[in-house]
Structure 1
Amino acid sequence: MKYKISLLLLLFTAMYSCQNADEKRRAENAKEAKKKEVIFNNINKGWTFIDEPINEISEQKLNSWTEWLEFIKEIGDKPRKTIGAFQKKSRAISKKAMALNNNIPPEFNLPQIRSRISILITKIKMLDLFIHLNKIPDDKVVFLVQEINKELISLERQMDKIVEKAKIPKEEGEADFLKMLDTTRAIPSSAPPLDQNTPKIE
């Protein structure tokens, strides 16, 4: 009889602890779902890229740069519904950004443009890294979207400066003067180097 009562008590205890564990698991799942919802809402609210050119002249010049057009189209399409969609979009933006180093139009293939593209790519890669973490730091993701927008503006303004500068007519002889300033075109000295051990005549 005592054995049956002990077994019955043990059974009730096991059932009660299982019920408690289930309730605890459900509460934790609900809490986790709420966290994910907050993260999603923050990212969804902050995920706004500038996808419009800031100058019509630059836009005309960039129409032949396929990689740029594809990149702008990619950042213009906002993902919907899930964090997974944002992660997928981030990966796609990263790939398109990497391609910006290819086929840069000759008038924009300059160090100041290349350096800005490099900074833009770095920030996009950081965004892609953060959004793929197990615990997504939504504040950092939103901050990086804003930073990417700043880099896009900086890049487009630099392009505008180049376009505007190209419209200014050069003065007579300016092209020759600029060539003379170019140190890469300098004629190397053909004289042998001075030997320090050679006696000097005074």
Structure 2
Amino acid sequence: MKYKISLFLLFVFVLNSCQGEDEKRRAENKKAAKKKEAIFNNINKGWVFMDEPINEVSEKNVREWAEWRDFLKEIGEKPKKTIGAFQKKSSAIAKKATGLSINIPIEFNKPQIRSRISILITKVKMMDLYIHLNTVPDDKVVFLIGEINKEMVSLERQMDKIVEKSKIPKEEYEADFLRMLDTTRAIPNTFADPK
């Protein structure tokens, strides 16, 4: 009889403790859902990209440079429903950003443009990395969106500078002078050291 009573008490204790865990689990799930909703709302508010060209050169590039046009189109579309939609969009933006470095127009295939494109790609990939973490740091994602916008403006302004510089007429012997300044074309010193 003692055995049955102790077994009954053990059963009541286990049943009671399971109910407490269920309540804790429900409370934790509610808390996690509220946190995810807050993260979603912050990212949704901060997901504002500058997808419009800022100058004539950028507008011309949108028409002529397919990769740039695709990138701007991709960042212009905003996801709406879930964090998963933002994650998919972020991956698509990262893919389009990587394509920017592959086919740069000849007039812009210069170190200052390639470096700005590399920085832009890096920041887009960082945003993609942060948004795919288990616990999404929404403040970092929103900060990186602002940084991506700054890099895009910097890239567009640099393209504008290159076009403006190309419009400046060169003087008669300026090309020869610039070639003489190029140290890679210098005549190597073939004389032996007299020591």
The answer, yes or no, to whether TM exceeds 0.5 is yes
- Once residues 166 and 21 of structure 1 are traced to their aligned partners in structure 2, the CA distance between those partners, rounded to angstroms, is 72
Q: What are the within-5 Å matches in structure 2 for residues 155-174 of structure 1?
A: 155-174=155-174
The amino acid across from 1:15 in the alignment is L
| Aligned equivalent of 2:48 | 48
DSSP 3-state at the match of 1:171: coil
- Once residues 8 and 189 of structure 1 are traced to their aligned partners in structure 2, the CA distance between those partners, rounded to angstroms, is 98
Over aligned residues, Cα RMSD in angstroms? 1.7
Of 62-71 and 87-96, deviating more is: 62-71
The amino acid across from 1:105 in the alignment is P
Give how far 1:24 is off.
Answer: 0.8
DSSP 3-state at the match of 1:63: helix
| Aligned equivalent of 2:27 | 27
- Once residues 13 and 170 of structure 1 are traced to their aligned partners in structure 2, the CA distance between those partners, rounded to angstroms, is 92
| Aligned equivalent of 2:128 | 128
- Once residues 153 and 49 of structure 1 are traced to their aligned partners in structure 2, the CA distance between those partners, rounded to angstroms, is 11
Q: What are the within-5 Å matches in structure 2 for residues 32-111 of structure 1?
A: 32-111=32-111
Query: What is the identity percentage for the equivalent residue pairs of Structure 1 and Structure 2?
Result: 71
Aligned residues: 195
| Aligned equivalent of 1:6 | 6
Contact preservation (8 Å) 2:131, 2:137 = yes
The amino acid across from 2:105 in the alignment is P
Gaps of 5+ in 1: 197-202
Check 1:130–1:22 CA distance in 2 against 1; reply closer, same or farther (3 A cut). same
| Aligned equivalent of 1:191 | 190
- Once residues 75 and 114 of structure 2 are traced to their aligned partners in structure 1, the CA distance between those partners, rounded to angstroms, is 20
TM-score in terms of structure 1 length:
0.89
Give how far 1:7 is off.
Answer: 3.4
TM-score in terms of structure 2 length:
0.92
Contact preservation (8 Å) 2:61, 2:69 = no
| Aligned equivalent of 2:117 | 117
Deviations 1:175-201 (A, max 9, x none): 2322222233x24236333252xxxxx
Gaps of 5+ in 2: none
- Once residues 189 and 19 of structure 2 are traced to their aligned partners in structure 1, the CA distance between those partners, rounded to angstroms, is 92
Check 1:133–1:117 CA distance in 2 against 1; reply closer, same or farther (3 A cut). same
